[in-house]
Amino acid sequence: MIDEYFPGHSVAASQVIKAHRKVQRKVGAEVAPNAHRNLEEQLLAIQARLQPTHRMLRRLQHVGAQVLSALCPNMPAPRTPSRTADWLEVAIGRLEAWKVSSGRAGARPALEFVRARYPGLDLA
């Protein structure tokens, strides 16, 4: 079932199990080549699948915090992925507002230029 959610990581999970069984054999345990995974091995497999996802989540959180510090330099950086996501959702609204504001700010000088250049032009 976990393979459905983390399909690319099943090779890593198998490698971890093989390495674990190799260590077990070295210390004298008898492990059949086709033995079912015990609880410890199942947990190792889950960990092997989740580690890359955890690293990616941390990376996303770090980059998100960098974006927020660029947008809001006086705001303390969020320390969790959840808080970063919350603040990024707020940042989307700010970016939209800044985009509209800068569009208006750029339109005003352009309009005044056209009015000065063509005084008889009706721009209502």
CB distance 65 to 88 below 8 Å: no
Residue the block writes with tokens 């915090």: 65
Residue range of the domain that includes 59: 2-117
57-105 confidence digits (pLDDT tens): 889 888 888 888 887 788 888 888 888 888 888 888 878 888 888 888 8
What is this structure's pTM? 0.55
Between these two residues, 121 and 114, which has the higher pLDDT value?
114
Let me know if residue 77 belongs to a domain.
yes
84-95 confidence digits (pLDDT tens): 888 888 888 878
Q: From CA 73, how far away is CA 65, in angstroms rounded? A: 11
User: 3-class SS at 84?
Assistant: helix
Let me know if residue 124 belongs to a domain.
no
CB-neighbour burial class of residue 81 (10 A; exposed 0-12, middle 13-18, buried 19+): middle
Domains held by the chain: number: 1
Let me know if residue 66 belongs to a domain.
yes
